[in-house]
Amino acid sequence: MQLIIEFAYGCFISVTEDNVQELLLAADQLGVKSLVQTCCHFLGEQLCPRKCIAIWRLTNICISPELRHKAYRYITDHFEDVVSSEDFLQLSVEELTDILDRDELSVRQENGVYEAMMKWIAHVHEERQGHIAALLSKVRLALLSTQYITINVLSNELVKNSAECLTLIKDATTIIHRTERPSGYGFYHRLARPRLPNAILLATGGWSGGDPTNSIEAYDFQANRWVSVANGLERPRAYHGTAFLSGFVYCVGGFDRVQHFNSVYRFDLTSCTWQEVANMHCCRCYVSVTVLNGRIYAMGGSDGQARLNTAECYQPQTNQWSHIAPMHEQRSDASCTTLHNKLLKKLQVDLQLDVLDRFQVSDVLQDKLNNRES
């Protein structure tokens, strides 16, 4: 309470691991919102496999939707590490059931979910064995191999003695055999539905069958599977640049065999829809694109007549492109990245198609370019 009083009088309070819970509870009870936010921010930075469940449960007492979501997301994103914590074994059956049921649960293989469930039951075997069927129903059994099911699941005494469990396994093995057929039957069954990865690799546009395409494919690294996402670009295009910013994938410039584009589209990963945004000042294919400080930078490329040394910057808040300092040389087919608030470009081609063995550094704060030998 003394710390709360000091905070009310404008004194600095050092939030630590030792006092954060006490401070948060007191600040929440007294309605000191700024201190609640400070404590929640501190706890959000403390998330780790050992502490995430305790922090998540704390939000049952002190209401903080943002911290609760962040802690729960940490649990699902780092589930295989969280299983090793002591707090995992103290979860209620309702809490564990909800976690195992999540499409967002991040596991390399589904057997990790089954083994986590059995570990939780074994911790207090007599009290928890009755939950075997309810928990097993949350395991995507049809994502397991028939060999694993035979050796590890059917051999378990709790499973063998449960009619509900045996029915689940029978359904799963039927789906496994049918999904091996070309029709892919059963892919959308709840026992076969893949978990959603917490990160994906997108392939947008490019060439397919000798022509530009507007297709998008996503690689699920957990399932080791490519999935077709959408065919929504206004026109097929290749040799464009791409960037990810604030939940959107931007497709910048490009070429469709006839026209060089200055148009820019962005793909909303939530709604799987395309939206056109402001055009660039120049048409660019073979363009280098990167993101820095919440802005998209497009550098060099070709407009169909010549390779370019110009560069421009896109500000999503205003939906505007603005010119930045041009590069010293015409460049395309470049690799670019960011480092210490600067843009780096490497491995470019000049107008005569000679490889340039050097890179340039752009200081976007001072809007100037410095040429450096590699």
Each residue's pLDDT expressed in tens, for the chain with a length of 374 residues: 555 655 555 556 778 888 888 888 887 777 778 888 889 999 999 999 999 999 999 998 878 899 999 999 999 999 999 999 999 999 999 999 999 999 999 998 999 999 999 999 999 999 999 999 999 999 999 999 999 999 999 999 999 999 999 999 999 999 988 865 544 444 557 788 888 777 778 898 899 888 999 888 888 777 677 877 766 666 889 999 999 999 899 999 999 999 999 999 998 887 778 899 999 999 999 999 999 999 999 999 999 999 999 999 999 999 999 999 998 888 888 888 888 777 666 544 444 444 455 556 666 555 655 544 44
Paired strand residues for 243: 250
pTM comes to 0.65
| C-beta of residue 242 within 8 angstroms of C-beta of residue 252 | yes
What is the SS3 assignment for 312? strand
- Local structure of residue 168 (DSSP, 8 states): H
Distance (Å, whole) CA 214 – CA 312 = 25
Listed by start position, the domains of the chain span: 1-90, 200-373
Give helix 33-45 / helix 65-77 axis angle, nearest 10°: 10
Q: List, in sequence order, the alpha helices (H) in the chain.
A: 2-8, 20-30, 33-45, 52-58, 65-77, 79-82, 86-89, 93-100, 111-123, 125-128, 132-136, 146-148, 157-160, 163-179
Confidence (pLDDT) at 177: 85
Q: Is 9 exposed, middle or buried (0-12, 13-18, 19+ CB in 10 A)?
A: exposed
| C-beta of residue 238 within 8 angstroms of C-beta of residue 206 | yes
CA distances in angstroms from 203 to 22, 206, 285, 315, listed in the order given: 49, 8, 17, 24
Sorted by sequence, the CB contacts under 8 Å of residue 330 that are 6+ apart come out as 300, 306, 307, 308, 309, 350, 351
DSSP letters spanning 99-154: HHT-TT---SSTHHHHHHHHHHHHHTHHHHGGGHHHHHTTS-GGGS-HHHIIIIIT
Distance (Å, whole) CA 85 – CA 52 = 10
| C-beta of residue 311 within 8 angstroms of C-beta of residue 328 | no
Confidence (pLDDT) at 353: 43
Confidence (pLDDT) at 365: 53
Confidence (pLDDT) at 290: 93
Superfamily of domain 200-373 in CATH is Kelch-type beta propeller (2.120.10.80)
Sorted by sequence, the CB contacts under 8 Å of residue 71 that are 6+ apart come out as 43, 44, 47, 52, 53, 55, 56, 59
Confidence (pLDDT) at 228: 79
Sorted by sequence, the CB contacts under 8 Å of residue 349 that are 6+ apart come out as 307, 331, 332, 333, 334, 355, 356
Summarised one tens digit per residue, pLDDT across range 21-74 is: 888 888 777 777 888 888 999 999 999 999 999 999 999 887 889 999 999 999
118: tokens are 């059995």
Which residue from 90, 148, 140 is spatially nearest to 113, judged by alpha carbons? 140
Confidence (pLDDT) at 371: 47
